Amino acid sequence: MNTQRTAVFGGGCFWCTEAIFKRIKGVVRVEPGYAGGQTENPTYHQVCRGDTGHAEVIRVTYDPQKITYGDLVEVFWQVHDPTTLNRQGNDVGTQYRSIILVKNEEERKVAEQSLRKAQSDFKRPIVTEIDHLKIFFPAEDYHYDYFSKNPNQPYCFAVISPKVKHFIEGNPEKLI
């Protein structure tokens, strides 16, 4: 019996969040994609132009016997700045918004409770959206494992590498 579950998060560039979540114990797979917009089958270029309303997100497949949905939400707060509206660092636009896309009321309750708890860790108000996941559109193939395949690409080297290093150093107990 397949007991795996999925969770969908948007915390800026999906290359960044994918690079971190794929290192976490209990995570089986991480897929970059798009969600939260109105266009069917959006492309990366459409999403980057802001034409679709979608956010860059990751779909995390996990084993709930090894990690809980709540644990994943806690990691989500650590891997981006949920207090900046429609941006992460120099990545600006609604496609980079902080968003948790839930599939049911149980996930909504966990996400909302976690948000209230996480607020004490931030000086500014958290602006993360919590919304119902309507549909997840997988990103184009070249986005999968982007950081692993392109560690010396300037964005990967300057932005993603320090985020991954910081997370690894601060959370060794959560790593594979």
Residues with a known catalytic role? 13
The bridge status of strand 98-102 relative to strand 129-132 is parallel
Torsions phi, psi for 21 (to 5 deg): -60, -30
CA-wise closest residue to 139 among 16, 32, 38: 32
Sheet holding 55-62, edge to edge: 129-132, 98-102, 5-11, 55-62, 27-35, 137-138
Interhelix angle for 161-170 vs 14-21, to 10°? 30
Element (H, E) at 60: strand 55-62
Distance CA 10, CA 79 (A): 10
What SS3 class is residue 87?
strand
